[in-house]
Each structure stands twice: as structure tokens, then as C-alpha cells.
Amino acid sequence: MSTASELTRASAADLAAAIAAREVSSAEVTRAHLERIGAVDGDVHAFLHVSEAAIATAEEVDRRLAAGERLGPLAGVPVAIKDVLCTIYMPSTAGSRILEGWVPPYDATPVARLRAAGLVPLGKTNMDEFAMGSSTEYSAYGATRNPWDLTRIPGGSGGGSAAALAAFEAPLALGSDTGGSIRQPAAVTGTVGVKPTYGGVSRYGAIALASSLDQVGPVSRSVLDAALLHDVIGGHDPRDSTSLRDAWPSFADAARRGAEEGTLRGLRVGVVRELTADGPTGDGFQAGVTQRFREALGILADAGAEIVEVDAPSFDYGIAAYYLILPAEASSNLAKFDSVRFGLRVTPPGGGTVEQVMAATREAGFGPEVKRRVILGTYALSAGYYDAYYGSAQKVRTLIQRDFAAAFETADVLVSPAAPTTAFPLGAKVDDPLAMYLNDLTTIPANLAGVPGIALPVGLAPEDGLPVGIQFMAPARADDRLYHVGAALERLLQERWGGPLHAQAPALG
């Protein structure tokens, strides 16, 4: 890895090994990625803010390593951070005008753990405002574009993190997943995204959307890289009341075993009918997505896995339940943005009362999708409607959790397409909320149940040559199972392709 192109296209695992062996410095790796950002991000717009301290941070990591200090297995590797996570020294806007320019006085726990392990923050990535969206078109700071086709969306809400990886602007990134915001962007950009078990990664310092659904997770270009990053950010945090106290196994070890063994003999893989083209919403699945998904099932079977079909009838109501629960929780969480304590303040002409200032600030600071969901959520929680809407949605959530429990009695992991279509054109659905919401059809159930999910690429759709993703889900606390099966499938696919899928991506710049 001697050239800038080699450094930016290398895996995080390879970069970490080269830095540890003193074959290359963290400063050289970081500089190569900053140069790449400068060269292509004007077209992609993956970043909202690029860190001015990145080179200095990398040089400090190099000094610590030279002094013999033992850091984490990813020491010196650059990482991009979704703008929903609080960061000292860098603005944290959640893609909204209402937080424009706000620099938090503390790091979110996952960010603090990155720094402690010697990773180098490159900057903050673009996102749909307050993580409300599936295309990163609802950002107050402009849309992000898919590096595979700049006329297409990169998914959302974490399209900035996924696009940064697909464009080789970063080797690793952090995202957040409330209904698919890590996995769906991974699917449409040919990258890897993981939603950990709810409570497996601290959300302290993550700007909340829906507190019973939000989860921070890793984004990468390989299953092993995601596992290595998950090992860094995971674990109990007493500052997060939902944080699990479990002792987690090494996810990187699970990924390495899966890749080395290359066999899935004895593994029961459950195909969730309701989340495929054979289910009630099957007409929304692109033919090429279904084709690549079925080919992947064949590869799993050839590797020794037992493919079984499972029914989860309550999943049919997942989107309806989700779009009552999420707006209700969002309307509560976003009430803090009131112009009084921090963030934007807009004063009406001639002054006004606190209530008038608050109303003017929210009118100017919140975008249309945020306003839509806050209104929906406030209505769902209002007197006379709580039981009929929010209460009923929570009952459906319980049924979905029971369907998962029943499915895992007959399958070790569940599988579905990670998104029903490939990346669609920018602007195609931005004015059609219902069409936009259907992009999360396959990913929402995992959030409602709190179980982990991983998305990884399984090829390109024949219709448009764009990436297709597959999703695996495992029981709560069985995240290592996802890394094992994901790495095994990744190896088998790459043997067929002659290398990773991102090697086929069109070059930018």
C-alpha cells in the first residue's frame, strides 16, 4: 500500500495491520483519505464537516504507537461519524437547521470509545434531518449522492456514512439505525451495515429520534471491518439506562471463523415470506433484487445451510405500527428544541412571547418531514386517540416480537432482501411520503423487536447495474451469529466475483 489510491481502497483491517507494523503511518493514511474527500466530495456530498484536527490526531496516534503504547486493533484507522452523534470540536446538527453550528461539550460514548482506541475521526457525515428519511434528501444541508450513480440516492437516513465508504472517502463509519438507517443505505451502496441488539451499543450522546428503536452501529466495506468496529464501540455504559450488561464475545473472531471455515453446515436459515417477493407486498420488490436474493440462498444451501421458510404474519403490520410509534416518540424527543436552551432562535418582528419565539424557531428550523412526523406523533398521543393509535401500535409490536420468537425456534438466523429495490433516482419519492416509507419494509421488524441485523452486498441488479443487499437477523444478543454467517457468505460471493463488490464500482474523479 504505497499509493494514495491503495490506501483509500484498503480494508480497515489491512490498514490497521500496516500501521501497527510501521509500514505506513496513521498520518499518511489519514492524509490520503482527506485528499480523497477533497477530490470527490463536491460530487457526493457525504460530509457535512471535515475535521481540522484529523492530521494532528493521527500524528499523536503515531507517536503513541512509536512509544510502545498498546492501543486498540484499529489504532490509526480513520473513521467517519454520522452527524447524529455528539462530538467535541466538531458541529453536531443531526442534519437540521435548528442545530446549525452547535458544538457539543462532550462526545457520545461510541465516539469516546473510538478516540480511546486510537481511531482518527475524519468528520461528520450527512443524514436525513433527525434521521427521518430513507434517501438523505431530507437533510437541511442538501442531498447526498450515491457513488455508484450520482443521479441516485444513497439510502437513508445514514446515506452520508454509506456514501463515504462507497466513494473510498473513509474505511469505516458510525451510523444509527431506527428502522433501517444503517442497513438500507448499505444495501443500495454495496457496503456492510449492522444494527446491533438493542442496548448492545450505548446511545449516550446520540441525538434521539425514537428512544425505544434507536441503535448505533458500524458501517464498513467488509464484514470483518464491521466486526472490528463493533468490538470497539460495544459494551455496557452506565450512562445509558437501556445499555445491556452482557459480556459480549469477540465479533471479529466470529467473522474470522466464518470466513475461514467457508461452510454453513447445520445452520438453519429461515426465509421470512412476508419480507420477500412471495409475501403480501411482493409487488414492491424489484425483479433484480429478488433474483440476486434467490441466488444467494442457493449459495447458502451449497455451503451446507438448511433453507426453511418461516411465516411471520404480524410483519405485514410492521410499517403501520412503526409509523405510529416512531412519530409519537419523536414528538416527545424533539420538544427539547424550543429556542430557549440551545440551538436556533428566531424572534418574530417586534419581539414576541416565549411561545411565539418557540413557534417561529420551529417553523424556521424544522424541515417538512420532521414537521409531518411531529404532527402525526402528537396526534397519536393526544387524549382520545392514544389507545386507538399508539396503544394499538404497541400491541402489534408485541405480536411482531412473538413472531420472531416463534421463527427462531425453527431457524438460527432469518434472511430477507435488505431493501426492496436498488437505489432510486434523486427526487423520485421525496414528495411521496408513503412511497418513501416502504423502503424500510424489510428492516423495520428488527427494530420493533430489538434483534440484531446485518446487511451486506450480494451482487448487482441486472436491470440497472446497482448494488443489491441481503439481510440476516438473529435472536437478541446473538450478534456474533450474524458476523459468522455474513463473513462466510461474503467469502463465497467474492470467490465467484474474483474480489469484493466495491472493486466493480465506477471510479469518481
Residues ≥6 apart with Cβ < 8 Å to 5: none
The burial class, CB within 10 Å (0-12 / 13-18 / 19+), for 67 is exposed
Specify which residues 473 forms β-bridges with.
414, 453
Distance, CA of 225 to CA of 231 (rounded, Å): 10
The grid coordinates listed for 146 are: 450515491
Q: Which of 370, 392, 368, 369 is nearest to 380 (CA)?
A: 392
Strand pairing report for 172-176 and 120-125: unpaired
For the chain, give the number of residues: 509
Q: Please tell me the number of Cα atoms within 13 Å of 139 on its side-chain side.
A: 29
Residues ≥6 apart with Cβ < 8 Å to 446: 195, 452, 453, 473
Distance, CA of 374 to CA of 362 (rounded, Å): 11
Distance, CA of 402 to CA of 482 (rounded, Å): 20
Q: At what angle do helices 223-233 and 109-116 cross, to 10 degrees?
A: 100
Query: Which residue's entry shows cell 410499517?
Result: 319
Query: Which residue's entry shows cell 458476523?
Result: 483
Q: What angle do CA 127, 463, 10 make, to 5 degrees?
A: 50
Please name the residue ranges forming H helices in 235-338: 251-261, 287-302, 318-333
Distance, CA of 206 to CA of 310 (rounded, Å): 35
Q: With contact defined as beta carbons under 8 Å apart, do 486 and 471 qualify?
A: no
The beta-strand segments (E) located in 243-355 are 268-272, 306-310
Residues ≥6 apart with Cβ < 8 Å to 439: 134, 135, 155, 180, 184, 419, 420, 421, 429
Distance, CA of 74 to CA of 78 (rounded, Å): 9
Distance, CA of 191 to CA of 221 (rounded, Å): 5
The beta-strand segments (E) located in 354-485 are 413-417, 453-460, 467-473
Specify which residues 268 forms β-bridges with.
306
List C-alpha distances in Å: 270 to 14, 18, 193, 508. 33, 39, 20, 38
Helix (H, G, I), strand (E, B) or coil at 82: strand
Catalytic annotation, residues: 82, 157, 181
